[in-house]
């Protein structure tokens, strides 16, 4: 059991690193989809108690939304926006990987400063949650294309979800569903916004928005 959970966590960490190391936008979207499915599997495997209908519904819905609906929406936007690659990110890819390794150390150090009020299935879940949130934030600030920034937001939400997993048994279903609905609405609205920005300006470089004059 332990080895399955650890393998899942290692895979999740690797998806995070892959996200900041790859320049093809469609590959980034697929990585985030894989991450969503892996996160959806987590409560099924890592649950300390017997599998309840509530947990099964929660993980099924997560996998459906993060693994199918979000990637589909984003790939559709990508096709209409007619961009393939992140050409000039603010931070290069090799440097991003190094920063990613540094963030991993920071995440582990942080989670060791926080004593847990109850036993956790794996000591690596907390670092994973912090690391995923940090990678999401890093993707938002270090990339130029609006789609990568949406992906960063999604990964950040995945991190919050992983954080919630630790408390999955202690958290009401309504809160989880609310967060999922929020993320869904955000991705939906951002997809439409990117489409319109692209139609108006012929590119989706978010940094050039600051040069707009009212």
Partner 1 sequence: MTDLSVLLGPISALVLAPLIPGIINRTKAVVAGRTGQSLLQLYADLLRLFRKGAVYSRTTSWVFKAGPVAGLSCMAVSLAMLPLGGVPGAMAFTGDLIVMVYLMGLSRFFTAAAAMDTGSAFEGMGASREVQFSVLAEPALLVGLAAVALAAGPAGLFDAGPVVNGFRSLSEIYHQLTLSVWANDGAILLLAAAALFIVALTENCRIPVDDPNTHLELTMIHEVMVLDHSGPDFGMILYAAALKLWFFLALLSGLLIPVRSENLWINGISTIIGIFFLAVGVGLVESVMARLRLLRIPQLLAGALSLSALALVLVLWG
Chain residues that interact with partner 1, rule: CB under 8 A: 3, 6-7, 10, 13-14, 17, 21, 93-94, 97-98, 100-101, 104-105, 108, 112, 123-124, 127
Tell which residue, 202, 209, 39, 21, has the closest CA to residue 129. 39
State the DSSP code for 83: -
8 vs 151, beta carbon nearer partner 1 = 8
User: Looking at beta carbons only, is 12 or 81 nearer to partner 1?
Assistant: 12
* Contacts of 131 by beta carbon, 8 Å cutoff, 6+ apart: 13, 16, 103, 104, 107, 108, 159
CB of 112 to partner 1, least distance (A): 7
Q: How far is CA 169 from the centre of its chain?
A: 22
Could you tell me the end-to-end alpha-carbon distance of the chain, in angstroms, rounded to an integer? Answer: 58
* Residue 94: CB minimum distance to partner 1, A: 4
- Rg of the chain over Cα atoms, rounded to whole angstroms, equals 18
The least distance separating partner 1 from the CB of residue 211, rounded to whole angstroms, comes to 29
Instruction: Considering the complex, state which of residue 85 and residue 112 has its C-beta at the smaller distance from partner 1.
Output: 112
The least distance separating partner 1 from the CB of residue 117, rounded to whole angstroms, comes to 20
CB of 10 to partner 1, least distance (A): 5
Q: What single DSSP character describes residue 145?
A: B
Task: Please say which residue, 96 or 198, places its beta carbon nearer to partner 1.
Answer: 96
Backbone dihedral angles phi then psi of residue 37, each to the nearest 5 degrees: -65, -45
Nearer to partner 1, 71 or 127 (CB): 127
């Amino acid at each position: 059991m332990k080895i399955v959970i650890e393998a899942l966590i290692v895979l999740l960490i690797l998806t995070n690193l892959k996200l900041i190391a790859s320049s093809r936008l469609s590959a980034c979207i697929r990585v985030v989809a894989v991450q969503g499915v892996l996160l959806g599997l987590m409560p099924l495997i890592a649950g300390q108690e017997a599998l309840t209908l509530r947990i099964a519904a929660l993980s099924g819905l997560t996998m459906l939304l993060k693994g199918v609906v979000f990637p589909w929406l984003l790939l559709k936007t990508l096709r209409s926006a007619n961009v393939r690659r992140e050409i000039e990110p603010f931070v290069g890819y090799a440097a991003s990987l190094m920063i990613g390794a540094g963030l991993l150390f920071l995440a582990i150090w942080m989670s060791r400063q926080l004593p847990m009020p109850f036993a956790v299935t794996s000591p690596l879940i907390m670092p994973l949650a912090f690391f995923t949130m940090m990678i999401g934030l890093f993707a938002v600030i270090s990339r130029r294309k609006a789609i990568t920034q949406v992906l960063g937001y999604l990964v950040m939400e995945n991190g919050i979800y992983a954080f919630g997993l630790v408390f999955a048994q202690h958290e009401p279903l309504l809160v989880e569903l609310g967060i999922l609905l929020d993320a869904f609405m955000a991705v939906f609205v951002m997809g439409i916004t990117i489409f319109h920005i692209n139609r108006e300006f012929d590119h989706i470089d978010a940094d050039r928005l600051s040069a707009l004059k009212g």
